Amino acid sequence: MTKLKEDCRLSSKNFLLSSIFTPEKSIHDLDKESSTFIWFPLLIETVIRMPQSKKAKEDLLNECQLEYIDNDFEQKIIEQFWENYQTNDALSWYTRDCFLYRLLNKAFRSENIARIFQFTFTCL
């Protein structure tokens, strides 16, 4: 029984690997997504190195307020962010279930570079 379980586990693992890493699939996906693979780390590096400004923070928060114009709860969190945000709090704000997490992830998922750049001041 032990040998049979081990053989099943190995067969499943080999089947999964062969179905994921077929030459046709990996070459096709790399061609399709190579630009994303190349530009994304460069974009992040650029965002991190951009100078921080109060105007960038104001612009972002104005956009966030417009995005959540009918949501009083999120408006209060946006106000807290405006008053209390410090650079060393970036991770805790990002992992909090609030406007910042949702909008930044939406920007990354849609690969909206203009929207990603709106978050530049939060990196520094």
From its phi and psi, is residue 111 left (phi > 0), alpha (psi between -120 and 50) or beta? Answer: left
Q: Cα(88)–Cα(59) distance, rounded to whole angstroms?
A: 21
Distances (CA, A) of 2 to 6, 7, 50: 6, 9, 58
Can you tell me the mean pLDDT for 86-102? 88
Statement: residue 119 has pLDDT above 80 = no
Q: Can you give the pLDDT at residue 54?
A: 79
Pick 21 or 119 by higher pLDDT.
Answer: 119
